[in-house]
Amino acid sequence: MRKAITKCKLKTKDEFKKKLTDIDFKFSDTYWQHDRVYVPRNYRPHANFPRLIMRTEIKAADKPAKYSFILKRHIEDSGVDIAEETAVKDYEKMVNIILQLGFKPVAEISRRREHLKMGEGNYIFIDKIENKPGYYAKIESDLAPGDSVVEAKADLEKTFTTLGESNFVDNSYFEI
């Protein structure tokens, strides 16, 4: 799936969330995610290399954890993010496959997350990253074939600006 993604460090979570709930958007309950990030052994930032992520997600204490394998790739010259996610039944076996493919672990990111859906293929996430001050918001927009990434990213930045936010973040969470 091709996506345009824009992240912003929030001034305050409560103000940002209130602006959206005042126009009848409803955030999900807070849930927990933990990502283990793997990169190729010859990884260099901003060089179009793929990242593999093993995600554990717990939405409620009385429900089992959900495990996912995610392939992410940011194509620098186009600004497009590619993300594919699939459910995993055996977490340990999948990690062994990743390691056998020559990927190495580089980061672990735990976060508390809330999200809302804004129309078809558009999502806003509010994240509290463990051991990082403040809150981050991320808008993801699915791109259809032929959609302009430049226009989509400009629209996402305009959405943040309209909501009073402008502290944009270009790095992934594991690079912050």
Whole-angstrom Cα distance, residue 57 to residue 111? 10
pLDDT of residue 28: 95
Residue 77, pLDDT score: 66
Which amino acid would we find at residue 126?
I
Residue 112 is predicted with a pLDDT of 97
Q: Mean pLDDT, to the nearest integer, of 78-84?
A: 80
pLDDT of residue 135: 97
CATH classification number, 2-175, choose in 1.20.990.10, 1.10.150.530, 2.40.320.10, 3.40.50.300 = 2.40.320.10
What does the pLDDT look like over 123-163, one tens digit per residue?
A: 999 999 999 999 999 999 998 888 888 898 899 999 999 99
Q: What is the pLDDT of residue 104?
A: 96
- pTM of the predicted protein model: 0.87
Contact assessment for residue 75 and residue 48, using Cβ atoms and an 8 Å cutoff = yes
Predicted confidence band at 107 (pLDDT cuts at 50, 70, 90)? very high
Q: What is the 3-state secondary structure (H, E, C) of 103-119?
A: EEEEEEEEEEEEEEECC
What residue segments make up the domains of the chain, in order of their start? Answer: 2-175
